[in-house]
């Protein structure tokens, strides 16, 4: 049947004539007949052969209508981006004024997804026919996918305004304004700006955001003009705070603007009308004098204006105080332990930090700890606002903790409080992120929309995949979803990577982001079909540009903790993904399977990396299941063998196959002996220990190492093997285990006992405690507890106190001459160094069990009596660890030079040891258990 279809099409192509007369005889009915043939080819699964036939015909008959129609529609059905055949076909009939056919072809293109070209062409048809309702419907679809189209967005806004649809008109005016800014058409921008100021007088933050884009895309001078419109609106509303903010922005653009300077002076007079020293401070700061730099004058004025009777201040030594009197250039301050302290205003400005009455330090001074504790626990949002506003309205979670723990909250209360606080910071519209630092939070003067809140997070975030997480959250949580100008700006970030020039880049990160951008937009277009036209490259082009696909696969990890938690929960239910979970790596694998010839071999190449980076079984099982479904069992068997042969590169796959696939028939077909499995697992354990020591992929290697140890020792695989193995095999296996230097000595000792149970006369090579100590740090229980307390004190007391010292030093300004700041930062570096060292040592520490003290030879926790043959004196030493070492009291570390020289010696053994230039001969006279 398929051959009949192809023969029929070939005949049609041979008989086709391309003349003006033939074109004039075409009607939509003929294209409908072609559609019937296309449907039949689809049912017979010969669409690819049909396209190949038509493409070959087009290579020598470029204007074949039949070939272009078939080839173009098959391309669209295969989601191939290039629609040149249909575009060419439509243009032929546009030129020949065949409106009905042009409309039919445009609609057929749209059957396979939104197309800017098809919608624009269809709109032209409706416009020429005078079909206004249909025209506006098509324009709405076009504006939704064409993020550059501004004029039509404005036409839609004007139409909605005439129809009395306020919300819709504002939405389209916003779109048009955003796009005119991108096109740098200021006249159009100003027209819509003034209209939206009239419609949305409360959305100040929206206008402040837009003017920054105008300054960046067009010019600061044009942004200034818009700000003056906003300023006049604020004065009309008597919103003095915002008026001051706007004037400061104008002066940032042009510090010589005398009108803005005069305006901000007037606004300050209105804001501080009740201040007793207002005019004096305007005079002292030279705010109204054009000769002084306006920014310095404003800063000086705002410093001075904070000094008034009843206001609070902070002194580094005396703490929080309250101004009791201001007379001329002298002020009096009541500190808790220094009442009515007098100083000059000049000295006060330099030595004191002014505090608002609701500053957290002020509250700590005025309220009891019990009162403040109750308020902070009861009203978390209030506590967050109070602390953040206390520090120039910029604060991280770390800074908030330093301010509240332990002075207000106990250390044990922080975790629960912090969880609730983070939820408030994420969802409360009164909080937002600093636009330049994702970890810093701000309190808003006005509630912020969820759209803008997530947009600000997106702009503040610097990591690619965290930005992707925010973009997806934006679509799920905002009312606008993908139909938003904030979304358009975020999407532009992704589409910026989808450029042909990036195919040739040698930058690995760019390669990863190029592929990730494609997969993300491809995935999003399922929810938002209007995004599909943004895929300007296809998967095959991008994939073929990679030198090593596995390196790219490993890094296209979706970074959304909320969805990752859902997926982890799903994996505990049998590896199934939850409804909302999203896996970029799975999309990558699916695209390979659907679009790359020889995908099976690509899967084999990728498998080791798929296992290494997978958080659960899902993608691993997807790869294996796909290969089985394709009848590639032999490739899986070969894959298993290759993983065990090349265990260094495939270490994670070795462990995975052993744990999850060992009972499968395909694994058994690989024919791996038990000895081969065990030897490979020991090698994997050894390699991962060495990689951990060298700080290479530490977390991944720790995970694999733990899994290998679990198989070999906790599941007793090695012990069971020894029970049934001959002596030669046991010796070979044990030698490999002994060579794993970082393996816990107690595990080796247990293995020795198991071997002794079968071979009582088995001779071990002698395990040196010195070798095992290369990683494990033996310690006493008392010292371990002491070190934990020391770490806790640094983390919970010294670090928070240091953070306060840094915050205070920053408040003094001018870091170049700030001795307090430099001292505080030096202390911070010292504390950080101590924390790193302590954490590392505690992680390595192994608490020694006094019940295991062995006095048969010199070892940890033994007291050794030595006869110094050189000096004819007796010397007594206790052998402990580096933490307990106290040479003055004859307690030495087993890792010290003398300790290492003594380790494993027995009574009667002699050894040489040099102290400085003097060589001494020692004999071990007695070994006893130390009192620990």
pLDDT in tens, 50-92: 999 999 999 888 888 999 999 999 988 876 656 788 898 999 9
Contacts 24+ apart (CB under 8 A), 250-253: 250/224, 251/294, 251/295, 251/298, 253/215, 253/220, 253/221, 253/223, 253/224, 253/227
Which pair of structure tokens corresponds to residue 831?
């504390």
Which residue in the block uniquely carries the two structure tokens 């909320």?
Answer: 562
Cβ contacts of 207 within 8 Å, gap of 6 or more? 193, 196, 197, 226, 230
If we measure between CA atoms, which residue out of 541, 502, 493, 544 comes closest to residue 520?
493
Which pair of structure tokens corresponds to residue 499?
């450029």
Count of Cβ atoms closer than 10 Å to residue 890 Cβ: 12
Q: How much is the pLDDT for 254? A: 95
CA within 13 Å, CB half, 522: 22
Confidence of residue 20 (pLDDT cuts 50, 70, 90): low
> Quick check: 423 and 379 in contact, CB under 8 A?
no
**Is residue 718's pLDDT more than 70?**
yes
For the segment 211-216, the average pLDDT, to the nearest whole number, is: 92
Which residue in the block uniquely carries the two structure tokens 């992680």?
Answer: 843
**Is residue 31's pLDDT more than 90?**
yes
CA within 13 Å, CB half, 65: 23
Cα gap 59→74, rounded to integer Å: 17
Cβ contacts of 398 within 8 Å, gap of 6 or more? 439, 803
If we measure between CA atoms, which residue out of 106, 125, 102, 130 comes closest to residue 117?
106
Cα gap 240→264, rounded to integer Å: 9
Count of Cβ atoms closer than 10 Å to residue 616 Cβ: 16
Taking the chain, what is the end-to-end CA distance rounded to the nearest angstrom? 91
Query: Mean pLDDT in the chain?
Result: 86
**Is residue 165's pLDDT more than 90?**
yes
Cβ contacts of 175 within 8 Å, gap of 6 or more? 143, 150, 153, 157, 485
**Is there a cis peptide before residue 406, judged by omega within 30 degrees of 0?**
yes
If we measure between CA atoms, which residue out of 212, 213, 284, 205 comes closest to residue 239?
205
Give the 3-state secondary structure of 118-131. HHHHHHHHHHHHCC
Which range (46-60, 172-186, 363-377, 471-485) has the least confidence? Answer: 471-485
Q: Within 739-852, where are the H helices?
A: 745-758, 769-772, 781-793, 799-811, 819-844
Sign of the torsion angle spanned by Cα atoms 501, 504, 505, 508: positive
Our CA angle for 793, 794, 796, nearest 5°, is 65
Q: How much is the pLDDT for 567? A: 42
Cβ contacts of 315 within 8 Å, gap of 6 or more? 321, 335, 351, 352, 353
If we measure between CA atoms, which residue out of 409, 411, 415, 408 comes closest to residue 789?
411
pLDDT tens per residue across span 594-643: 888 889 999 999 999 999 888 778 899 999 999 999 999 999 999 999 99
Q: How much is the pLDDT for 842? A: 86
861 conformational bin, left if phi > 0, alpha if psi -120 to 50, beta if neither: left
If we measure between CA atoms, which residue out of 432, 680, 473 comes closest to residue 564?
473
Q: What is the four-CA torsion angle of 187, 193, 195, 197, rounded to 10 degrees?
A: -150
Print burial letters for 112-144: b (CB count within 10 Å at least 16), e (below 16): bbbbeebbbbbbbbbeeeeeeeebbebbebbbb
For the segment 549-577, the average pLDDT, to the nearest whole number, is: 56
Q: How much is the pLDDT for 413? A: 93
Cβ contacts of 156 within 8 Å, gap of 6 or more? 136, 139, 140, 143, 168, 172
**Is residue 693's pLDDT more than 90?**
no
Determine the angle formed by the axes of helices 116-129 and 99-110, rounding to 10 degrees: 140
Q: With pLDDT > 90 as the criterion, what percentage of the chain qualifies?
A: 48
> Quick check: 869 and 836 in contact, CB under 8 A?
no
For the segment 318-328, the average pLDDT, to the nearest whole number, is: 89
Cα gap 9→11, rounded to integer Å: 5
Give the 3-state secondary structure of 705-749. HHHHHHHHHHCCHHHHHHHHCCHHHHHHHHHHHHCCCCCCHHHHH
- pTM surpassing 0.75? no
Cα gap 605→548, rounded to integer Å: 9
**If 0-12 CB within 10 Å is exposed, 13-18 middle and 19+ buried, where does residue 804 land?**
middle
Which pair of structure tokens corresponds to residue 392?
């120039």
Q: With pLDDT > 70 as the criterion, what percentage of the chain qualifies?
A: 91
Q: CA distances (Å), 857 to each of 560, 690, 745, 775, 901, in order?
A: 56, 30, 16, 22, 12
Q: How much is the pLDDT for 10? A: 94
Higher-confidence residue of 321 and 728: namely 321
Q: How much is the pLDDT for 24? A: 79
Which range (327-336, 338-347, 501-510, 747-756) has the least confidence? Answer: 501-510
Cβ contacts of 27 within 8 Å, gap of 6 or more? 100, 101
**Is residue 185's pLDDT more than 60?**
yes
Q: CA distances (Å), 92 to each of 20, 35, 260, in order?
A: 10, 19, 59
Question: In the 8-state DSSP scheme, what is residue 918?
Answer: E
Determine the angle formed by the axes of helices 258-271 and 278-285, rounding to 10 degrees: 150
**Is residue 817's pLDDT more than 60?**
no
Q: Per DSSP, what are the bridge partners of residue 929?
A: 862
Give the 3-state secondary structure of 63-111. CCHHHHHHHHHHHHHCCCCCCHHHHHHHHHHHHCCCHHHHHHHHHHHHC
- Identify the H or E element spanning 893: strand 891-893
Confidence of residue 19 (pLDDT cuts 50, 70, 90): low
Q: CA distances (Å), 164 to each of 109, 201, 597, in order?
A: 34, 19, 56
**Most confident range, picked from 2-6, 229-233, 281-285, 903-907:** 229-233
Q: How much is the pLDDT for 766? A: 43
Cβ contacts of 797 within 8 Å, gap of 6 or more? 406
Which residue in the block uniquely carries the two structure tokens 């048009």?
Answer: 176
Q: Per DSSP, what are the bridge partners of residue 25?
A: none
């Amino acid at each position: 049947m398929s051959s009949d279809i192809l023969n029929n099409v070939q005949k049609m192509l041979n008989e086709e004539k391309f003349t003006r007369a033939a074109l004039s005889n075409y009607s939509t009915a003929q294209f409908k007949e072609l559609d019937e043939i296309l449907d039949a080819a689809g049912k017979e699964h010969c669409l690819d052969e049909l396209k190949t036939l038509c493409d070959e015909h087009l290579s020598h008959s470029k204007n074949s209508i039949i070939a272009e129609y078939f080839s173009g529609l098959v391309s669209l059905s295969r989601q191939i981006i290039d629609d040149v055949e249909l575009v060419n076909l439509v243009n032929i009939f546009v030129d020949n004024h065949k409106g009905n056919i042009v409309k039919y072809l445009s609609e057929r293109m749209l059957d396979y997804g939104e197309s800017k070209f098809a919608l624009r062409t269809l709109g032209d048809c409706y416009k020429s026919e005078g079909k206004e309702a249909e025209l506006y419907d098509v324009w709405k679809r076009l504006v939704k996918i064409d993020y550059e189209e501004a004029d039509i967005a404005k036409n839609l806004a004007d139409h909605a305004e005439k129809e009395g649809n306020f919300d819709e008109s504002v939405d389209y005016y916003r779109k048009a304004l955003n796009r005119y800014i991108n096109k740098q058409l200021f006249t159009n921008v100003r027209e819509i700006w003034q209209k939206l100021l009239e419609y949305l007088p409360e959305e100040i933050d929206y206008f402040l955001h837009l003017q920054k884009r105008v300054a960046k895309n067009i010019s600061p001078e044009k942004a200034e003009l818009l700000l003056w419109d906003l300023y006049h609106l604020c004065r009309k509303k008597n919103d003095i705070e915002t008026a001051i903010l706007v004037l400061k922005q104008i002066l940032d653009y042009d510090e010589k603007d005398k009108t803005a300077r005069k305006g901000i002076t007037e606004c300050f007079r209105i804001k501080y009308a009740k201040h007793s020293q207002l005019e004096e401070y305007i005079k002292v700061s030279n705010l109204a004098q054009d000769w002084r730099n306006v920014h310095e004058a404003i800063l000086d004025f705002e410093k001075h204006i904070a000094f008034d009777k009843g206001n609070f201040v902070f002194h580094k030594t005396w703490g929080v105080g309250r101004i009791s009197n201001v007379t001329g250039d002298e002020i009096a301050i009541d500190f808790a332990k220094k009442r009515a302290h007098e100083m000059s205003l000049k000295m006060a400005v330099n030595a004191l930090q002014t505090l608002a009455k609701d500053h957290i330090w002020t509250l700590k001074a005025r309220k009891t700890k019990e009162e403040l504790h109750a308020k902070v626990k009861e009203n978390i949002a209030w506590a967050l606002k109070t602390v953040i506003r206390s520090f120039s309205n910029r604060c991280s979670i770390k800074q908030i903790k330093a301010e509240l723990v332990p002075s207000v909250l106990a250390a044990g209360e922080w975790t629960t409080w912090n969880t609730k606080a983070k939820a408030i910071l994420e969802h409360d519209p009164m909080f937002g992120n600093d636009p330049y630092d994702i970890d810093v939070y701000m309190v808003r003067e006005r509630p912020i929309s969820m759209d803008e809140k997530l947009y600000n997070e997106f702009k503040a975030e610097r990591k690619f995949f965290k930005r992707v997480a925010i973009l997806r959250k934006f679509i799920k949580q905002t009312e606008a979803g993908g139909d938003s100008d904030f979304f358009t700006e975020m999407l532009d970030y992704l589409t910026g990577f989808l450029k042909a020039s990036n195919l040739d880049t040698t930058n690995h990160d760019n390669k990863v982001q190029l592929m990730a951008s494609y997969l993300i937009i491809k995935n999003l277009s399922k929810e938002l079909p209007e995004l599909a036209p943004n895929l300007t490259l296809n998967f095959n082009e991008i994939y073929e540009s990679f030198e090593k696909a596995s390196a790219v696969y490993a890094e296209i990890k979706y970074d959304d903790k909320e969805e990752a938690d859902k997926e982890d929960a799903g994996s505990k239910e049998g590896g199934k993904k939850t409804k909302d979970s999203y896996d970029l790596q799975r999309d990558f694998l699916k695209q390979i399977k659907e679009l790359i010839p020889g995908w099976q071999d690509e899967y084999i190449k990728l498998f080791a990396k798929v296992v290494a980076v997978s958080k659960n079984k899902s993608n691993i099982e997807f790869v294996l299941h796909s290969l089985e479904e394709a009848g590639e069992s032999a490739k899986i068997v070969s894959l298993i063998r290759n993983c065990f042969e090349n265990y260094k590169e495939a270490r994670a796959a070795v462990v995975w196959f052993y744990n999850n696939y060992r009972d499968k028939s395909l694994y058994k077909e690989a024919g791996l002996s038990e000895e081969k499995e065990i030897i490979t697992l020991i090698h994997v354990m050894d390699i991962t220990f060495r990689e951990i020591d060298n700080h290479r992929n530490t977390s991944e290697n720790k995970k694999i190492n733990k899994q290998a140890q679990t198989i070999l020792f906790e599941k007793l695989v090695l012990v069971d093997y020894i029970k049934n193995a001959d002596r030669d095999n046991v010796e070979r296996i044990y030698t490999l285990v002994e060579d794993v230097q970082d393996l816990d000595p107690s595990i080796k000792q247990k293995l020795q006992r198991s071997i002794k149970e079968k071979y009582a006369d088995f001779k071990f090579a002698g395990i040196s405690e010195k070798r095992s100590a290369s990683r494990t740090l033996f310690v006493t229980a008392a010292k371990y507890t002491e070190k934990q307390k020391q770490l806790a004190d640094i983390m919970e007391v010294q670090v928070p106190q240091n953070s306060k010292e840094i915050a205070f030093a920053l408040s003094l300004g001018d870091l170049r001459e700030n001795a307090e700041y430099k001292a505080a930062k030096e202390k911070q570096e010292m504390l950080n160094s101590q924390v790193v060292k302590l954490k590392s040592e505690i992680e390595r520490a192994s608490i020694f069990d006094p019940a295991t003290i062995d006095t048969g030879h010199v070892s940890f926790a033994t007291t050794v009596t030595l006869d110094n043959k050189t000096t004819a004196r007796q010397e007594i030493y206790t052998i402990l660890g580096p933490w307990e070492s106290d040479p003055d009291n004859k307690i030495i570390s087993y890792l010290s030079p003398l300790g290492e020289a003594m380790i494993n010696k027995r009574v009667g053994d002699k050894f040489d040891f040099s102290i400085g230039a003097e060589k001494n001969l020692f004999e071990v006279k007695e070994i006893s258990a130390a009192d620990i």
